[in-house]
Chains A and B, each alone.
Chain A
């Protein structure tokens, strides 16, 4: 079985045109891979570029150099050079992403937010809604909130909606950006269970976890991102 995610010699810097074109290096020569069923944690102090790596993997950030190879069905796609349609197809079918913050859409109910990625994969409406309710229940989100738009939810409630949305599909690659940041102990434990279930299902997970307890519970290995620190003008 092909390695679902391979990051090869990736470099990234920002050119800040509004600050007279100053170049901010982020990471340089990033090399790693994540196997199926493995949970890899990106470690290192904040500001070292952990989130930037996830954003490059998800296509939100451009990549200056290198390749990010994703197994898509029976072929391998370089997301660093893929066109937008391919990135969208990968997001729909291959790479899932749980961000730190939920981008809320006006008027859409929490349960619909959660079900949406499954419906995008052409699951039936009923099956998707059933699964969404199961996940929200598992994450202890009060049932009275399910039919409300999450814009007015607390940080922890929004985070649980976000997690349910990220975990509802069976994407072979799942990116986690501090999914437990604003959760209490009980819900952290639920997330740990969810991650373990994904590992057993053969999903390749790559995450950032500041919480040492969660990290210890799920990580197979840790990559120290400070090793990829770019040597540039500013650094």
Chain B
């Protein structure tokens, strides 16, 4: 495990006019670490995710990322071209709604291959082989490679979105409610897939979820957000087994047992 953080989030604050989106959030993420951000709708977790992933400039605060050359760079001081290149090569972003992260009217193969073509791959056969390999890894039959995602089930779409993001070997993946809107059995399969991919590839990930079971299964560490503030953070087991804050206790006690 490296002693250098991959991502350093420092006092990130976002105001929507006079309203707080997220306030003074500070944390670091290390290579291979999965961080869950939990809280109910409106708690600011998606705002935070968007600020960190450069999709939404924060009102104040900095986000630094360790580039592949080992240099720590302030993401909001980078040129847009470099930032977008980073986003489509070294990062992944898995949207809650797969339609937001996929091109619904091009084939599964092209969805996966797009990032390769974006970084200059110009050999059709190799692109297609890589796409086929990734479909297999996310448990989509390779004979669906020429089908469009609009013909896929929700779970398949979400797995395709993951393959599309991982094909360039990113080091950091953002996930916004990756299992939201899926049936429970489909969720379980997706969670296991994400869990093993993250472990096998040594990915770092920031997972926004309101589902504490998802956080328990996927994450090492956890931030609990309420009204734009991080009210509790720590080892995922510790936060869930021995929650300290009133809101966290309420959240944990609200889990349905089966």
Contact = CB atoms under 8 A, between A and B. Distances in A.
Are A and B subunits of one complex?
Answer: yes
Interface of A: 14-18, 55, 59-62, 84-85, 87-89, 105-108
A106 B253 contact: no
Contacts of A14: 242
Interface string B224-258: 00000000001101100110111001100100000
Contacts of B220: 84-85, 88
A107 B244 contact: no
B111 to A, nearest CB: 25
Contact of A18 (B30, B189, B244, B246): B246
A105 B217 contact: yes
B114 interface: no
Given A16-B249, A18-B250, A60-B242, A87 B235 contact: yes
B191 interface: yes
Contacts of B238: 59-62, 84, 87
A59 B237 contact: yes
Contacts, number: 53
16 contacts: A15-B244, A18-B246, A18-B249, A55-B242, A59-B235, A60-B237, A61-B241, A84-B221, A84-B238, A85-B1, A87-B235, A88-B235, A105-B192, A106-B188, A106-B191, A108-B192
A151 B217 CA distance: 14
Contact of A107 (B1, B188, B242, B245): B188
B33 interface: yes
Interface SS of A by simple majority: mixed
Contacts of B126: none
B245 A55 contact: no
B246 A84 contact: no
Contacts of B245: 17
Given A17-B246, A59-B237, A106-B188, A85 B195 contact: no
A84 B242 contact: no
Nearest to A63: B242
Contacts of B235: 59, 84, 87-88
A85 B249 contact: no
A55 B241 CA distance: 9
Nearest to A61: B242
A17 B241 contact: no
Interface string B159-198: 0000000000000000000000000000011011001000
> Which 8 A-B pairs give the minimum distances between C-beta atoms?
A17-B246, A106-B188, A84-B235, A60-B241, A61-B242, A107-B192, A60-B237, A84-B221
